[in-house]
Chain A
Amino acid sequence: MALTITCPICGKRSGYEFRFGGEDKGPPPQAAGLTPAAWCDYVHRNNCVAGVQKEWWCHRQGCGTWFSIYRDTTKNLEVAGPQSEDV
């Protein structure tokens, strides 16, 4: 396989220029009163989707930007995201 990823700044580049940054789980939960289980859920646990997931990438060997893309983990290919849902 030869993953390519589209950086919002530099365009489509070889996947090896990038660093994976996890499933997109949204911003971290508020620290105050966070239980160990809830903390662990955010920090360590994953959905491990076999299919399309939204995830973070950093253009490490390029512009350094963090951005999110959709990728099909069963094909290892970047895919178009779902149409935006705002009316």
Chain B
Amino acid sequence: MKRLAGLPTLRVNSARAVSIEYDGKRFHGVEGDTVATLLYANGTRIFSRSLKYHRPRGLYSLDGQSSNTYVDVDDIPNVCAENTFVGNGMRVEPQNVLGTPEHDWMAFMDKLSWAMPAGFYYTIFHKPARLWPIAVRHIRKTAGLGSLSPDVELRGRFDQIYPAADVCIIGAGPAGMSAALAAAAQKLRVILLESRPWLGGYFDYRTRNHKPGMPLYLRGRQLADQLEQAPNIRIFKHTAVIGCYSNNLITAFQRGSEADCFAERYVQIRAESVVVATGCIERPLLFENNDRPGIMQIGCAHRLARTWGVLAGEQAVFSIGHDLGIEAAIDLHDLGLSIACVADVREDGCDPALPPQLEARNIPFYPGWVAAKAHGRKVLKKVTLTNLSGVCKQQFDCDTLVASAGLTPVTGPLALAGARLEYDAHTGYFLPTGIPQKMHAAGRMLGLEDPTAIELSGRLAGLRAVADCGMAVGATISGVEEELAKLPGPARGSKFVVAPVEGKKTFVCFDEDVTIQNIDQAMRLGFDVTELIKRFTSAGTGPGQGGIAGHNLPLYVALTHRSPDLHPRPTTVRPPLVPTLLATYAGTNHPMSKRTPVHASQVAAGGVMERLQPWQRARRFCADTTARAEIENVRTNVGMLDASTLGKFRIFGPDALKALQRVYVSDMARVSTGRMYYSAMCNEDGCVIDDGVATQIAENDYYFTTSTGRAGETSEWIRYHTRYDRWDFHIINLTDAYGVINLAGPNARKVLEKVVDGAVSNEAFPFLGFREFMVHGAIPVRAMRLGFVGELSFELHVPSSYMQSLWDILEEAGEEFAIWNFGLEAQNTLRLEKGHVILGSESEQRTTLHDIGLGFFWHRDKLEAQTVGAVALKQTENDTSRLKLVGFKMEEPAARAPRDGSPIVAERIRGYVCTARYSYALKEPVGMALVEGYLAKNATRLTIFEDDCKGELMKAKVVPMPFYDPTGKRMRM
């Protein structure tokens, strides 16, 4: 097809050819083509088949209002051909067809539409019941549009930015551009977002004069030039706004050009003030077969020619409800399109200057007429026009029907931000009311049509945004307001809804194949609210969302109700305003985790790393998943564990002790210098949330540890529970400031004494002692003798920057004993053998301190401390029906350990295994379980129900804990 050349409005570069492969054949176009314009220029009329009826569908709009032109591009489905620029060598495939869009084997579905009234799927397929599972499979196959392969990889980089602005303007048409210039003139930081690849909005393709000698498109480019030169305006072209949230948070995504380093990027803006100048789209005209390929909106036909140099067809009929339609007819006629006639649905007339121009071109004009039916089996061949009473009819041959009921404003951003949409009888628009503060609407979306008024309303909104930023522009604002009042206000709009004849296939929604008959059916069934009709018929729930159905559906419902008090109400607008790739939302998405200071050496030592909350930690260092060698090394020799993830805190100040008394169950007045003190924290329910050790460093100055999981919450926990008290204390989270090495095993002392400057004998540094040492005279170490793993052990806290050095020093010192790492798996078994709990493992949300047998840590006599959880601890202390923690061994020592998490049953579930492992030290499995109180007595039999046990229950018996070294002499060595 020959393309129009030399038009000043063109946005393509005819000098550079491009080509794509479509349906296995090669097609050529020019640089600047979208997939849709290229295919259209090559004669493609049927782009896809519709969801339900497999009706042929063609190019209807150019901004992706429906899925009519959805195609598969390079294995990515559901790509909208209308706003996807052609890249050389793209592979494009049609979707949802069995065969080709021209010859679709599923086309017979259209004949079955009688069997598919609104909501038909609720009434069939379930009788008999066995039909349904088969039907499901079939329904799934026919549903959906494009197909995706499970291992397809989307190419391209996806980026994200978070700019801030004083004023953010959505839409770079004349109003938005004027707003941007007004704000920029005040030296504010302005961001301008435009979804098309260029600025200009609806001025961009029109040759009508703005002022004598100045056509609209030139005026558009003039404004654009001014903008591009303003240093404080950041322009984002090809950037679609997708979300609009309270406090002026705007989200959008930008499509990258070939020069950009991103395929798409997510843009999130926080602005002081926002101007929405998104203009209008067209309201579809409802008549029979209004979806036939060859039927398109005014802007589509006009921009095809003016922007891309493609004439929509040979012979066109216009059925429109807006002056833009007459203007387009005149312009397209002059560009070479033959026009059979122009029907204007408005009875109250158009701009009187326009009909004479039609007459001058011999184009018949039919005011008060409208398209009633489109003919043609696959593509448009003929159209029947009718007058508004439906009495007179006339047919015209044509291959193009430009059809449009009128305009409708693009209010999505305002609606998302919380504005209400109300029907305005003058414009026929759903106009925003209750627009949130610091947000302004401008331009055509308010019903303005006069170009000067549109620009001025943009300027006014821009100035109001300036005022929101705290600048004194009140006088200027009043001046502009006065000026605007003198210009034409909102124009009267077409309120026409549906052709006055009965038709079978008049589509309210293309994507979901919903006809007005379906709407009638829904209403007869009792669905009277538009929102419910939408759900029942699924009108407006397809890929184009409200783009096609959004305006006509509520109007049609109100019309049908014929009830004067029922105002048309649009359905709720939902984000994203434009379908957005998950890749774009996800952006760069780095995997993040925290590493301890000795991470690298842990990995080098063969550590199998795993994620523990935010951290990476070594589970084990040997191939054996039970970590036997590591366990035995700790029991008989000496091992080293990187325990840096432990929470570490300093709390100091005159009221530090009071704060500790508040959150710890024990009497923290007993915490003293040189000794470690074990205690636990509960929540108000008396349930244990943390345990750790504390010591006093100096007067009113304490150091304490928490479990890894609580490190992040502890400061706020303590402050929360003292928030009414105005106490004077400070708390510092030292978790990342200190690394921790647990040096454990009978040979631990021999290693440590080689490197520290103080005495570490059992007398000088007894069990539960706390000492500060220097290692090699340079590294300050806080050492504590604790017994979590049940052997002689030293927990060494060291500034993070020295952690690796200390590790290396100890490794060297321990070489003669063959010192070795141990990991979490070994630690787990070691502590289990000692009956030591790990919170979250031996406890759950509802487990109290009493339940895990640590009730004795609670000092009931510190009432005045108002200890968190004390009330609940008191109220539950004699409750015998709760789950209690017990130790168990298998009845048959040769049996294997039950799997963690296995329930304990006796007619019903009575508890579960928390942790169970084979104990190499005891040569039999041991475990801990939470069981109902009556099972907690020593020697009681526990029956364990493992998953997949097929009725084979395991038998265990309750035994006292600790299992290993019950008197604890090994850790006191």
Binding site for B on A (CB under 8 A): 1-4, 19, 21, 26-28, 30-32, 34, 36, 39, 43, 56, 58, 60, 64-66, 75-77
Q: Could you say which residues of chain A place their CB within 8 Å of the CB of B719?
A: 58, 64-66
Contact assessment for A19 and B716 in the assembled complex, using a CB-CB cutoff below 8 Å:
yes
Q: Could you say which residues of chain B place their CB within 8 Å of the CB of A76?
A: 246
Closest Cβ–Cβ distance, residue A82 to chain B (whole Å) = 20
Contact of B723 among A30, A31, A56 (CB under 8 A): A56
Closest Cβ–Cβ distance, residue A78 to chain B (whole Å) = 9
Contact of A64 among B248, B715, B870 (CB under 8 A): B715
A77–B715 Cα gap in the complex (Å)? 27
Closest Cβ–Cβ distance, residue A75 to chain B (whole Å) = 8
Chain B residue with the shortest CB-CB distance to A77: B246
- Could you write out 11 A-B pairs with CB less than 8 Å apart? A1-B246, A2-B247, A2-B249, A3-B246, A28-B724, A31-B866, A36-B875, A39-B875, A56-B720, A66-B723, A77-B246
Say whether B353 faces chain A, with CB atoms less than 8 Å apart: no
Q: Could you say which residues of chain B place their CB within 8 Å of the CB of A36?
A: 875
Contact assessment for B871 and A39 in the assembled complex, using a CB-CB cutoff below 8 Å:
yes
Contact of A31 among B246, B418, B863 (CB under 8 A): B863
Q: Which of B238-277 contact A (CB under 8 A)?
A: 245-249, 270
Say whether B684 faces chain A, with CB atoms less than 8 Å apart: yes
Say whether B685 faces chain A, with CB atoms less than 8 Å apart: yes
Say whether B872 faces chain A, with CB atoms less than 8 Å apart: yes
Chain B residue with the shortest CB-CB distance to A78: B247
A75–B872 Cα gap in the complex (Å)? 36
Contact assessment for A66 and B866 in the assembled complex, using a CB-CB cutoff below 8 Å:
no
Q: Could you say which residues of chain B place their CB within 8 Å of the CB of A34?
A: 871
Contact assessment for B684 and A43 in the assembled complex, using a CB-CB cutoff below 8 Å:
yes
Interface-centre pick from B246, B684, B716, B871 (highest chain A CB count, 10 A) = B871
Contact assessment for A64 and B716 in the assembled complex, using a CB-CB cutoff below 8 Å:
yes
Contact of A21 among B418, B720, B866 (CB under 8 A): B720
Q: Could you say which residues of chain B place their CB within 8 Å of the CB of A66?
A: 716, 719-720, 723
Chain A residue with the shortest CB-CB distance to B715: A64
Q: Could you say which residues of chain A place their CB within 8 Å of the CB of B249?
A: 2
Closest Cβ–Cβ distance, residue B850 to chain A (whole Å) = 16
Chain A residue with the shortest CB-CB distance to B245: A2
Contact of B685 among A3, A43, A60, A64 (CB under 8 A): A43
Closest Cβ–Cβ distance, residue B687 to chain A (whole Å) = 12
Closest Cβ–Cβ distance, residue B572 to chain A (whole Å) = 14
A36–B720 Cα gap in the complex (Å)? 22
Contact assessment for B245 and A28 in the assembled complex, using a CB-CB cutoff below 8 Å:
no
Closest Cβ–Cβ distance, residue A66 to chain B (whole Å) = 5
Interface string of B406-446 (1 = CB under 8 A from A): 00000000000010000000000000000000000000000
Interface string of B329-345 (1 = CB under 8 A from A): 00000000000000000
Q: Which of B851-870 contact A (CB under 8 A)?
A: 863, 866, 870
Q: Could you say which residues of chain A place their CB within 8 Å of the CB of B871?
A: 31, 34, 39
Q: Could you say which residues of chain B place their CB within 8 Å of the CB of A1?
A: 245-246
A77–B247 Cα gap in the complex (Å)? 9
15 new A-B contacts, CB < 8 A, other than A56-B723, A66-B720, are A2-B270, A21-B720, A26-B724, A28-B866, A30-B866, A31-B866, A39-B871, A39-B872, A43-B684, A58-B716, A58-B719, A58-B720, A64-B719, A66-B716, A75-B246
A19–B720 Cα gap in the complex (Å)? 11
Interface string of B718-750 (1 = CB under 8 A from A): 011001100000000000000000000000000
Q: Could you say which residues of chain B place their CB within 8 Å of the CB of A2?
A: 245-249, 270
Q: Could you say which residues of chain A place their CB within 8 Å of the CB of B866?
A: 28, 30-31
Interface-centre pick from A27, A66, A75, A76 (highest chain B CB count, 10 A) = A66
Chain A residue with the shortest CB-CB distance to B731: A64
**A interface majority secondary structure:** loop
Q: Could you say which residues of chain B place their CB within 8 Å of the CB of A31?
A: 863, 866, 870-871
**B interface majority secondary structure:** helix
Q: Which of B677-722 contact A (CB under 8 A)?
A: 684-685, 715-716, 719-720
A26–B724 Cα gap in the complex (Å)? 8
Q: Which 4 A-B pairs have the closest CB atoms?
A: A2-B249, A2-B245, A27-B724, A43-B684
A31–B863 Cα gap in the complex (Å)? 7
A32–B860 Cα gap in the complex (Å)? 11
Closest Cβ–Cβ distance, residue A59 to chain B (whole Å) = 9
Closest Cβ–Cβ distance, residue A54 to chain B (whole Å) = 13
Contact assessment for A60 and B863 in the assembled complex, using a CB-CB cutoff below 8 Å:
no
Closest Cβ–Cβ distance, residue A80 to chain B (whole Å) = 13
Chain B residue with the shortest CB-CB distance to A76: B246
Chain B residue with the shortest CB-CB distance to A64: B715
Chain A residue with the shortest CB-CB distance to B243: A2
Chain B residue with the shortest CB-CB distance to A33: B871
A43–B868 Cα gap in the complex (Å)? 11
Q: Could you say which residues of chain B place their CB within 8 Å of the CB of A39?
A: 871-872, 875
A56–B722 Cα gap in the complex (Å)? 13
A77–B417 Cα gap in the complex (Å)? 12
A29–B270 Cα gap in the complex (Å)? 42
A4–B723 Cα gap in the complex (Å)? 22
Closest Cβ–Cβ distance, residue B851 to chain A (whole Å) = 18
Interface string of B542-560 (1 = CB under 8 A from A): 0000000000000000000
Chain A residue with the shortest CB-CB distance to B867: A31
A3–B249 Cα gap in the complex (Å)? 10
Q: Could you say which residues of chain B place their CB within 8 Å of the CB of A58?
A: 716, 719-720
A56–B716 Cα gap in the complex (Å)? 12
Q: Could you say which residues of chain A place their CB within 8 Å of the CB of B245?
A: 1-2
Q: Could you say which residues of chain A place their CB within 8 Å of the CB of B863?
A: 31-32
Closest Cβ–Cβ distance, residue B726 to chain A (whole Å) = 11
A79–B870 Cα gap in the complex (Å)? 36
Q: Could you say which residues of chain A place their CB within 8 Å of the CB of B246?
A: 1-3, 75-77
A43–B863 Cα gap in the complex (Å)? 18
A1–B251 Cα gap in the complex (Å)? 11
Closest Cβ–Cβ distance, residue B625 to chain A (whole Å) = 37
Q: Could you say which residues of chain B place their CB within 8 Å of the CB of A27?
A: 724
A64–B270 Cα gap in the complex (Å)? 24
Q: Which of B830-880 contact A (CB under 8 A)?
A: 863, 866, 870-872, 875
Q: Could you say which residues of chain B place their CB within 8 Å of the CB of A32?
A: 863
A11–B247 Cα gap in the complex (Å)? 15
Q: Could you say which residues of chain A place their CB within 8 Å of the CB of B715?
A: 64
Q: Could you say which residues of chain A place their CB within 8 Å of the CB of B872?
A: 39
A62–B142 Cα gap in the complex (Å)? 52
Chain B residue with the shortest CB-CB distance to A38: B871
Closest Cβ–Cβ distance, residue A5 to chain B (whole Å) = 10
A4–B715 Cα gap in the complex (Å)? 23
A4–B270 Cα gap in the complex (Å)? 11
Closest Cβ–Cβ distance, residue B684 to chain A (whole Å) = 4
Closest Cβ–Cβ distance, residue B722 to chain A (whole Å) = 9
Interface-centre pick from B248, B723, B866 (highest chain A CB count, 10 A) = B723
Chain A residue with the shortest CB-CB distance to B725: A27
A34–B684 Cα gap in the complex (Å)? 13
Q: Could you say which residues of chain B place their CB within 8 Å of the CB of A4?
A: 247
Q: Could you say which residues of chain B place their CB within 8 Å of the CB of A75?
A: 246, 418
A1–B724 Cα gap in the complex (Å)? 31
Chain A residue with the shortest CB-CB distance to B684: A43
A75–B417 Cα gap in the complex (Å)? 11
Closest Cβ–Cβ distance, residue B848 to chain A (whole Å) = 14
Chain B residue with the shortest CB-CB distance to A60: B716
Interface-centre pick from B247, B719, B866 (highest chain A CB count, 10 A) = B247
A30–B870 Cα gap in the complex (Å)? 11
Q: Could you say which residues of chain A place their CB within 8 Å of the CB of B248?
A: 2
A82–B25 Cα gap in the complex (Å)? 71
Closest Cβ–Cβ distance, residue B738 to chain A (whole Å) = 19
A74–B685 Cα gap in the complex (Å)? 30
Closest Cβ–Cβ distance, residue A67 to chain B (whole Å) = 9
A28–B848 Cα gap in the complex (Å)? 20
Closest Cβ–Cβ distance, residue B367 to chain A (whole Å) = 48
A26–B247 Cα gap in the complex (Å)? 30
Q: Could you say which residues of chain B place their CB within 8 Å of the CB of A26?
A: 724
Closest Cβ–Cβ distance, residue B842 to chain A (whole Å) = 24
Closest Cβ–Cβ distance, residue B718 to chain A (whole Å) = 10
Chain A residue with the shortest CB-CB distance to B716: A58
